Amino acid sequence: MFTVACASRAPASIPDIPPPPRLSVAQVARLLPAKVKGPEREGWARDVLAALDAEAVLPSPPVVCQVLAVIDQESGFQADPAVPGLPKLVRQKLEATAGKLGPLGRRVLDEVLASKAKGAKRSFGARLDAARTERDLDRLFRDMLAYYEEQYPAAYAAADLASSLFGPSSFAGQNPITTAGSMQVSVLYAVNKAGPDADPDAVRESLYTRAGGVRYGTARLMGFEAAYDEPLYRFADYNSGVYSSRNAALQSQVGRLTGIPLATDGDLRLYDKQGEPRGDDSQSLKALLVFRERHAPDLSERRVRKDVDQEKTAEFETTDTYLAVKRVYAKQTGQPPVYAQLPQVTLKSVKLSGEKTTAWFAKSVDARYQQCLTRHRQTAR
């Protein structure tokens, strides 16, 4: 007679899925393109890792390669990028603005350009002609603004129409440096990210350092959650605004359901130059209201408007309006609605030559991203 010892079987455990590898400074440095030489490689690597740590994002190979791809696209790894021909383009823009006032406007512009900042040796005009980098131009315009506010005769400015084009707010608006640094991050975004107590000029200056440019640019690229199945759409959002790719897909679906042609620019509302919503309705919002009437009468107009207010957030995907569009689209077309598509936005900047689009930008960055992944696979062997 044999005695068999029976033991209860432990439940099968689910194996832990290891997290993606966290890259070291040396590993990140090896992912940089060959054009970045010597100790600069380690410096860029350290700043990228610090920026990702600040956003609590794990520096895995795909994430690091996304950041490096944007840096490469936007500046070629230059902390303070030079922009060939920019002084000429800026002067042309100033002269065009002055030309709207005829001889009076040109006289005011000539007087301002002939002036100097306190303690400076060169006039504003000479500094403009000699400007080489973004920081040169940015500092010039900030000095011109300070000069106008402190030195230019207030009585003269108030007495004629010149104040409407060359007053402080107008001079600030003439500054061509709205994106800056190695990742060409929006200055407005960086100032808002720094918080209400931050000095805007100090934030601008930090963007021209390697650490600052990478810090704010990485936050802009990685600082939001989205269910994109590939980084291509995150690259597009970096250029045209958070959730632009998600919202462009929704615009396309609403356009198909209503028959109303919509620009798939990723903005369901209209915004001013400061990024604040305007009061008038966009074509996309009007189309959503038509969609509500035809396909989702249980949605109130008030609900649609409140939902659209969340278009720049992840929570927009949980709203009644977003879910209704997806549900009706699937039922009407028999096709699953895509989550994202490249927004169609034409880029306008004195720093760009020729016509460029957000789709062009995203695809160009994605090509650099793929090259970085290839370098990773080669160095990981």
99: confidence class by pLDDT, cuts 50, 70, 90:
confident
Tell me the C-alpha distance between 339 and 248, whole Å: 9
Q: Which residues contact 31 (CB under 8 A, 6 or more apart)?
A: 23, 61, 64, 65, 68, 372, 375, 376, 379
Using alpha carbons, list the distances in angstroms from residue 294 to 301, 303, 325, 379: 12, 15, 11, 56
* CA R_g for the chain: 26
Mean pLDDT confidence for 218-223: 97
Mean pLDDT confidence for 227-245: 97
| pLDDT above 80 for 149 | no
Averaged pLDDT of the chain: 87
Mean pLDDT confidence for 286-301: 97
Quick: pLDDT tens for 1-46: 434 344 334 445 555 666 777 899 999 999 999 999 989 999 999 9
Total-model pTM: 0.85
